[in-house]
A = this chain, B = another copy of it.
Amino acid sequence: MNVNTLHPLPLGGAAVEDGFWADRQRLNREVLIPDGARRLEAAGNLHNLRVAAGRAEGDFRGLLFADSDVYKWLEAAGHELARRPSDSLARQADALIELIAAAQEPSGYLNTYYQLVRPRERFANLAWDHELYCAGHLIQAAVAHARGRGDEALLAVARRFADHLDAVFGPGRRPGTSGHPEIELALVDLFRLTGERRYLALASFFVDQRGQGLLQPASFGASYFADHVAVRSQSEIAGHAVRALYLAAGVTDLYLETGEERLLEVMRAQWEDMAARKTYLTGAVGAHHRDEAFGAAYELPPDRCYGETCAVIASIMWNWRMLLATGEARHADLLERTLYNGFLAGFALDGGAYAYVNPLQVREGAPAHVRHPWFPCACCPPNVMRLLAGLHGYLATADAGGLQIHQYAGATLRAGEIAVRVRTDYPWDGRVEVEVLDAPAGDWTLSLRVPAWCGEARVDGVPVAAGEYAQLQTPDERVVLELPMRPRLTAPHPRIDAVRGCLAIERGPLVYCLEAADAPAGTSVDDLVLDPAGSLEDLPRPDLLDGIVAVTATASHRRADGWDGGGWPYAELRPGSPGRGDGPPVSVLAVPYALWGNRGPGAMRVWVPALTG
């Protein structure tokens, strides 16, 4: 029983044609994916597979989940080959798939770390050792190649492993679940592709095993890997952010295939907890460095924001599934915010480096936050690649009544008899033109998301409400949506202690920031105070960061000599205590947060103290 409210477009139903995301998909194809293959070679991930396949000698290299990076890269390649053929990429992928098949044991087991390092301890360390996590990524890669380009070589490997897992785990067999979720959503997807209900049942089994304390040792507490409570009783989002969100995506997938209402209820409750109390303005999640975890409600420090790129991607994955389940615009809204801010900040403009952590503030003199070409724990880079390669899949959905456009990009979208071409310079410009290329003979509905950030949108000149879908019944050949892109000041909930008294600049779906590179001469980003009464203006800057619309604002500069506490940073409150921003007004330039850190190290802040009184 499939209970989707909305359905993904069929394979090939969406294609980004031009504009903002076309540039990024091209960068992914030309820079990120080829570089990723070289990095996997250099880091030893492929070496491990060769040794397991008996084609090389040597010790295991890298972290124990090194295989998963290979699978995520392969999944990206699968999406990319489905998007647009490439003989060289296909050859590269095929060779890798052949190597993976050779590394697989006759039993179906496949995990080079356990094969090479701890052969007698398989499935003995499910809490920490990522065997099922790696299996999940293998399955996702296999599904991508099978569905995307009809190549089932990797699928055969993945099914053998899945069948092995099914023989080991399950009711009446071995108990257990994975310390790092991922296998759940992968098994549901394998079920969707193959129709084999065993895979769905195994996903369900792994979900049911949680909350029983099976995952030990729980060094960071059982909530770290969502084992503190049964899934059907968990109403708050908690724990390690990537783990929590991969699991949520898998549980939502399970709901989509089983229709079990309780699953959707807890997913809604967790999502509302996350959105209302545990998400940064950029869509980033994960406030703690130590355990890479969600913090308490409203615990959202901008400087110590962890906001791991993988967690941001996981949030996009979950929001997409919640959108399919409910059809509610709020999920597409948060997906948009996360995509344009938290996610985009995760890689450099030139594709040469990645961020693992995505803070909203870096102080002057703090250790430089720089993106890195690769990481010893390289989970994020191939995650960026697979998201970009499959990005068009998030643009639109279909239902029996028509087509829903959730994200605006220069693209062609097809569902059944409906085909449209979208033209836009989004996110710089809010005009979106939808040309109807094909339409069914009878009535149909074109639904256009009007983002909640938007005040006064219009469709063909007629005002439409924000935060929901404008529904156009059997539209004309051409529809024009206008989303006003005026810059705006955003205030935080008063319980978010860490940014009290601050404001952020937003424009359309983009969060902006101040960077040291743009600070007026003689000022420091750390000492600028925003004047909320000042003007806020667009400033197109085709010369900056590959072309942006910047925003100018009015600020004053706190005098460095204004502090009278001497060598102690706390002083008795007296009338006229300093720190209110008492310098002359200056004009400051804000740039999209997503593009920060592309001009060398330096201070940056999204939340800027506001002039008060």
Tell me if A299 counts as interface (CB < 8 A to partner B): yes
Question: Which B residues touch A302, using CB under 8 A?
Answer: 497
Contact B613 A493 (CB under 8 A): no
Q: How far apart sit A567 and B274, CA to CA, in the bound complex (Å)?
A: 9
Tell me if A489 counts as interface (CB < 8 A to partner B): yes
Contact of A573 among B288, B299, B490, B563 (CB under 8 A): B490
Contact A572 B612 (CB under 8 A): no
Question: Which B residues touch A527, using CB under 8 A?
Answer: 494-495
Q: How far apart sit A494 and B612, CA to CA, in the bound complex (Å)?
A: 13
Contact of A301 among B275, B492, B498 (CB under 8 A): B498
Contact A569 B367 (CB under 8 A): no
Contact A577 B612 (CB under 8 A): no
Tell me if A297 counts as interface (CB < 8 A to partner B): yes
Contact of A569 among B276, B488, B532, B571 (CB under 8 A): B276
Contact A567 B296 (CB under 8 A): no
Q: How far is the CB of A523 from chain B (nearest CB, A)?
A: 14
Contact of A299 among B290, B297, B303, B532 (CB under 8 A): B303
Contact B296 A367 (CB under 8 A): yes
Known: A296-B365, A612-B612. A493 touches B452 (CB 8 A): no
Q: How far apart sit A440 and B496, CA to CA, in the bound complex (Å)?
A: 61
Tell me if A50 counts as interface (CB < 8 A to partner B): no
Tell me if A116 counts as interface (CB < 8 A to partner B): no
Tell me if A350 counts as interface (CB < 8 A to partner B): no
Smallest CB gap from A238: residue in B? B367
Known: A290-B290, A366-B296, A498-B301. A568 touches B609 (CB 8 A): no
A467-503: which have CB < 8 Å to B?
488-503
Contact B495 A526 (CB under 8 A): yes
Question: Which B residues touch A612, using CB under 8 A?
Answer: 501, 612-613
Give the 7 A-B CB pairs with smallest separation, nearest first: A494-B579, A493-B569, A296-B366, A501-B501, A489-B573, A289-B290, A290-B290
Chain A positions within 8 Å of B, measured between CB atoms, are 221, 272, 275-277, 279, 281, 288-290, 296-299, 301-304, 330, 361, 363, 365-367, 452, 488-504, 526-527, 532, 558, 562-563, 565, 567-573, 577-579, 607, 609, 612-613
Q: A296-B365, A296-B367, A491-B572 are in contact. List 17 more A-B contacts (CB 8 A).
A: A221-B367, A276-B569, A277-B569, A288-B289, A289-B289, A296-B363, A298-B363, A301-B498, A330-B567, A488-B573, A491-B577, A493-B563, A493-B579, A494-B562, A494-B578, A497-B607, A500-B500
